[in-house]
């Protein structure tokens, strides 16, 4: 082959390659133009006023080329000269937070297969500074080939980082408020609401698995006399001290709470009435031995009941009846039904 012929062949190959590139680019532009015209005909307003709007994006599946508003790039801290001229779909997905990568990709795969009506996710992408920003992304296949394979997707993306930060702060505040509501302000043991909620759960468990459950009610003996003689501040100190003694001497599996006034309630799961009697009497003795106020005896009385499938109110009432029996029998004792 002569040199001239070889040269012509080389030029032909270059031309064919250029034509192939131009054809691919033309197909991309044709699909994009078709999408934009479709949106215009449908009177779709692209200038969303929603907070965080970063504009529309378009993904040509065949060429794996993404066209989008450059605000998403700049929001991540990149300049335009730091991104490739042709941006593939994985330019962003490679920067997804590890916890968000698979859920996001699954969402897209399911949508491409037609198993999900739209692609809609929230995810985090690592910015240039190494920190993650939150985005809400929603898109849909808008063009398919004759066999139903996806050709083109259109969507819109929002920067929701600020919203997520507010949600996190709000959730932290809700947790704090919930924790405060579950703790009695004075004694720092469980509040009435929290201990009764736990009792409901333990009763359900005991009923399902046929496990023994005991509830104990306690009352400080002659507490009014203590308040009258030493004042309410001293009474509050005694309440706090008794709560600490109970908290320290009940088992780790047990729960105690302030039922109201000078009354306490304890939940003893997986415990027979005999075992509960030994535990509660040990605590009663410990309180009787403790000097809360110099030369002034402080004791408690208690009543215990074994769960038999009745309602919470009936269960507590049976323990309360035993408590009043202990009071009537001379106080400073625990009585079982």
What count of other Cβ atoms lies within 10 Å of the Cβ of residue 233? 8
CB 303 within 8 A of CB 321: yes
Q: Is 162 a known active-site residue?
A: no
Distance separating alpha carbons of residues 263 and 192, to the nearest angstrom: 10
From 167, 201, 262, 289, active-site residue: 262
Nearest to 156 by CA among 22, 290, 35, 285: 35
44 in helix, strand or coil?
coil
Q: Cα–Cα distances in Å, from 191 out to 205, 235, 248?
A: 21, 18, 17
Exposed/middle/buried for residue 213 (C-beta within 10 Å: 0-12, 13-18, 19+): buried
Q: Cα–Cα distances in Å, from 72 out to 67, 68, 216?
A: 11, 8, 61
CB 243 within 8 A of CB 255: no
**Tokens 């046929």 found at:** 210
Nearest to 119 by CA among 130, 134, 103, 132: 103
Distance separating alpha carbons of residues 101 and 99, to the nearest angstrom: 6
Q: What residues are labeled active site?
A: 262
């Amino acid at each position: 082959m002569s040199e001239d012929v070889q040269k012509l062949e080389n030029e032909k190959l270059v031309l064919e390659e250029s034509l192939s590139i131009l054809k691919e680019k033309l197909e991309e532009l044709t699909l994009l133009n078709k999408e934009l015209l479709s949106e215009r005909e449908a009177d779709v307003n692209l200038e969303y006023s929603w907070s965080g709007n970063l504009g529309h994006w378009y993904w040509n599946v065949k060429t794996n080329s993404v066209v989008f508003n450059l605000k998403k790039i700049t929001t991540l801290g990149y300049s335009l000269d730091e991104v490739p001229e042709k941006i593939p779909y994985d330019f962003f997905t490679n920067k997804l937070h590890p916890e968000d990568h698979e859920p996001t990709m699954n969402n897209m795969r399911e949508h491409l297969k037609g198993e999900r009506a739209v692609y809609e996710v929230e995810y985090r992408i690592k910015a240039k500074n190494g920190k993650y920003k939150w985005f809400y992304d929603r898109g849909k296949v808008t063009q398919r080939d004759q066999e139903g394979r996806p050709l083109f997707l259109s969507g819109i993306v929002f920067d929701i980082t600020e919203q997520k930060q507010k949600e996190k702060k709000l959730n932290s505040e809700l947790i704090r408020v919930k924790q405060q509501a579950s703790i009695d302000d004075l004694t720092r043991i469980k509040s009435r609401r929290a201990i009764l909620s736990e009792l409901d759960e333990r009763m359900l468990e005991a009923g399902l698995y046929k496990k023994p459950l005991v509830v104990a009610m306690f009352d400080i003996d002659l507490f009014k006399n203590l308040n009258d003689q030493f004042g309410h501040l001293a009474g509050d100190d005694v309440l706090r001290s008794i709560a600490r003694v109970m908290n320290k001497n009940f088992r780790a599996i047990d729960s105690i709470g302030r039922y109201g006034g000078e009354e306490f309630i304890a939940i003893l799961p997986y415990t027979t009435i005999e075992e509960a009697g030994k535990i509660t009497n040990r605590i009663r003795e410990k309180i009787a031995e403790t000097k809360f106020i110099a030369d002034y005896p402080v004791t408690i009385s208690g009543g215990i009941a074994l769960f038999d499938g009745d309602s919470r109110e009936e269960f507590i009432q049976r323990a309360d009846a035993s408590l009043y029996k202990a009071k009537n029998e001379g106080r400073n004792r625990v009585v079982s039904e």
